[in-house]
């Protein structure tokens, strides 16, 4: 998998003479990053961090960025909100179009007392009945949720209904997590099938090139036509499949 390398950070720090220690803003979007690490050691002064459109499954290794004010991790594979308690200055958090279904994980943001804007649109949790009420009642410091201002009257009402809404959210969350467990099992099974299929192809690779081309076309068709749910696993699988095909093409050349 691809993680954050020093070389990548230096290249993206051109505006700072490739100096990373004093960096205050960095854009690492669309870098196919699958693991978030090192930034809290290398760039302690970061105020703005753009990580959108990668393959990051987990918020981690940013907890020591005490000056971080804005984190954009939209369009990743994140499933829960965590490890941001140490970001004492965090004002804006964008997690648009991830896979957050564990809505109660927003409770960890209570520590981020300066947090004013939160974006969760496009996450499964936004489909839950009572979603907005729950967030508004849980995070008193928020001023905007999904670009919409939180009025004082809305907060009062949300707080009045909080016990009932919280119970409803927990129920929906439980159902969602069961569904995710099934999806993960299914993804494992599919991956194993593909591995076995690949092995079979390797074993019979003594056939003609033309046969291999036909096989590849069939494999391609099967991969793209097979109905699969949109999950972190399928997103990663698609990325790996495209990479594999690209490498195979490069090798032929």
pLDDT tens column, 189-247: 888 877 777 777 666 655 545 455 555 666 666 665 666 778 988 888 888 878 777 77
In the chain, what are the domains?
Answer: 6-172 (3.80.10.10)
- Cβ atoms of residues 157 and 135 within 8 Å: no
DSSP character at residue 22: T
Residue 39 has pLDDT above 70, yes or no: yes
Q: What number of CA atoms fall less than 13 Å from residue 199's CA on the CB side?
A: 6
Kind and range of the H or E run holding 170: helix 162-203
3-state secondary structure 143-154: CEECCEECCHHH
Q: Residue 35: is its pLDDT beyond 50?
A: yes
CA angle 108–110–113, rounded 5-degree value: 135
Question: pLDDT category, 150, cuts 50, 70, 90?
Answer: very high
Greater confidence (174 vs 38) lies with: 174
Give the mean model confidence (pLDDT) for residues 34-50: 92
Q: Hey, is 105 helix, strand or coil?
A: helix
Write down the mean pLDDT value for the chain. 87
* pLDDT over 50 at 139, yes or no: yes
Model confidence at 1: pLDDT above 70? no
Give this prediction's pTM.
0.86
């Amino acid at each position: 998998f691809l993680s954050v390398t020093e070389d990548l950070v230096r290249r993206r720090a051109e505006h700072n003479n490739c100096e990373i220690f004093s960096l205050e803003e960095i854009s690492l979007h669309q870098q196919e990053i699958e693991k978030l690490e090192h930034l809290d050691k290398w760039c302690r002064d970061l105020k703005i961090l753009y990580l959108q459109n990668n393959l990051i499954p987990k918020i981690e290794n940013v907890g020591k960025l005490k000056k971080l004010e804005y984190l954009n991790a939209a369009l990743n594979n994140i499933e829960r909100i965590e490890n941001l308690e140490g970001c004492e200055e965090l004002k804006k958090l964008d997690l648009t179009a991830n896979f957050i279904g564990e809505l109660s994980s927003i409770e960890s943001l209570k520590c981020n007392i300066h947090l004013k804007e939160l974006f969760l649109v496009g996450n499964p949790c936004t489909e839950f009945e009572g979603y907005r009420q729950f967030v508004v009642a849980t995070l008193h410091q928020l001023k905007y949720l999904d670009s919409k201002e939180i009025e004082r009257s809305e907060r009062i009402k949300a707080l009045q209904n909080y016990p009932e809404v919280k119970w409803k959210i927990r129920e929906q969350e439980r159902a969602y997590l069961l569904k995710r467990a099934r999806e993960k099992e299914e993804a494992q099974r599919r991956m194993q099938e593909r591995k076995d299929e690949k092995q079979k192809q390797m074993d019979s690779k003594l056939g003609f090139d033309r046969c291999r081309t036909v096989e590849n076309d069939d494999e391609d068709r099967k991969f793209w036509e097979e109905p699969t749910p949109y999950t972190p696993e399928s997103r990663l699988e698609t990325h790996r499949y495209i990479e594999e095909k690209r490498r195979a093409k490069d090798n032929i050349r």
